[in-house]
Amino acid sequence: MIGNPKWFNLRKYGGWGITPKTKQGYIYSVGVGASIAAPQLITILELSTKITISITLALFWLIDALDIMSKIKLDEREQEITSKAEKNASLVMVTALAFGLIVIIFTSILKKSINFEALAIIFITLIAGYIAKVYTIHKLEK
């Protein structure tokens, strides 16, 4: 689409996604951020319109980032490392989510009301997956 895969690397330690590796990648990233923030500075627009424009732009740039990620080629060793890291991250996230759901079910039954721990469980799941991925990449790159 717009971004060039040669401008980016896949992220290893900073979660999922891409990170700039060239001047053009940094310029592209600043442009993306500015385009999403710019509608908020237009004073004649209503807040709901500003938010709609920013969300639409964010979705467009997300699609572009996914396109870039799909075009970045990894060598065999990088593919193996990434595969193991993703597998471990997924296993940890699924385990954390399953445990969290059990906790939510039991506390909801005991309290006879729905509680809002689900947000905390989602957050814990993402953090646990991130830690597993970083740990795996660190171990496999030695």
Q: Are residues 90 and 132 in the same domain?
A: yes
At which of 16, 43, 71 does a domain end? 71
End-to-end CA distance of the chain: 35
Give how many domains the chain has, as a whole number: 2
Residues of the domain holding 84 = 76-140
pLDDT band at 34 (very low <50, low <70, confident <90, very high): very high
Q: Are residues 56 and 85 in the same domain?
A: no
Rounded CA separation 75/105 (Å) = 44
Q: Are residues 55 and 87 in the same domain?
A: no
Q: Are residues 58 and 82 in the same domain?
A: no
> H or E element: which one contains 129?
helix 118-140
Q: Are residues 44 and 90 in the same domain?
A: no
Write down the pLDDT at residue 129.
85
* Mean pLDDT computed over every residue of the chain: 88
Q: Are residues 102 and 129 in the same domain?
A: yes
At which of 71, 92, 127 does a domain end? 71
**Lowest-confidence segment of 36-50, 53-67, 72-86 by average pLDDT:** 72-86
81, pLDDT greater than 70? yes
Look at the block and give the residue holding tokens 């469980």: 121
Which residues of 7-133 form beta strands (DSSP E)?
8-10, 18-20
Q: Are residues 67 and 80 in the same domain?
A: no
Q: Are residues 56 and 109 in the same domain?
A: no
At which of 71, 98, 120 does a domain end? 71
| Average pLDDT over every residue of 25-41 | 96
Q: Are residues 92 and 129 in the same domain?
A: yes
Q: Are residues 80 and 134 in the same domain?
A: yes
Write down the pLDDT at residue 117.
67
Q: Are residues 57 and 114 in the same domain?
A: no
Q: Which residue has the higher pLDDT, 21 or 104?
A: 21
Q: Are residues 65 and 83 in the same domain?
A: no
